[in-house]
Amino acid sequence: MLDKKELLKEQVIRASGVNPLKCMRCGKCSGTCPSYDEMEYHPHQFVYMVEMGDIETLMKSESVYKCLSCFACVERCPRGVEPAKIIEAVRLEAIRQKGNNHMTANDIPEKVNDDIPQQAIMSAMRKYSK
């Protein structure tokens, strides 16, 4: 029987399709990440912490909502690890929990102005809520 920690690790690895063991810890993903300064845990740490099964710590961190899904880390990883996909899988584990949406429709009116494109609202809702 897998315990909760092992189940989470199995789910994140399976759903992201990422093998964290390919990582050689060069840090290039974090070096190229435009949100590095805003993150408590950086892309290379996501990969390592998932490998260690320390996923609940990541799920509770704001870092999962700071990723821009710009895929710079995916493009520039010399080992093809695809860190953004691991961050996505951890974020989904967090927002799929009941009552744990990071943004809801009620939050939108105060965040928009006359110029903001629909695309921004659609994208944010898709990334932050279930």
Partner 1 sequence: MIKVSYFPGCTLRTKAKQLDLYARKCAEVLGVQLCEIEDWQCCGGVFVSNNDEIASKLSSVRALIAAKEEDRPLVTVCSACHNVIKQTNYQITNDESFRNRANLYLSQDKEKREPYSGETKVMHYFELLRDVVGFDKIKEKVVNPLTGRKIAAYYGCLLLRPGKVMAFDDPENPAIMEEFIRAIGAEPVIYPYRNECCGGYVALEDPESAKKKSNAVTNSAESHGAELAVTACPLCKYNLVQNGSNIPVVYFTELLAEALGVKEDTNA
Q: Which is nearer to partner 1, 57 or 69 (CB)?
A: 69
Shortest Cβ distance from residue 63 to partner 1 (Å)?
Answer: 12
Shortest Cβ distance from residue 89 to partner 1 (Å)?
Answer: 6
- Measured from the Cβ of residue 114, the count of other Cβ atoms closer than 10 Å reads 4
Shortest Cβ distance from residue 79 to partner 1 (Å)?
Answer: 14
Using CA atoms, how far apart are residues 42 and 31, in angstroms rounded to an integer?
9
Using CA atoms, how far apart are residues 83 and 20, in angstroms rounded to an integer?
9
List Cα–Cα distances, 3 to 10, 16, 45, 101, in angstroms.
Answer: 11, 20, 22, 25
Q: Which is nearer to partner 1, 17 or 24 (CB)?
A: 17
Shortest Cβ distance from residue 100 to partner 1 (Å)?
Answer: 16
Catalog residues that contact partner 1 under the rule CB under 8 A.
Answer: 14-17, 34-35, 37-38, 65-66, 68-72, 74-76, 82, 84-85, 88-89, 92, 103, 108, 111-112, 115-124, 126-128
Say if residues 55 and 49 touch (Cβ distance below 8 Å): yes
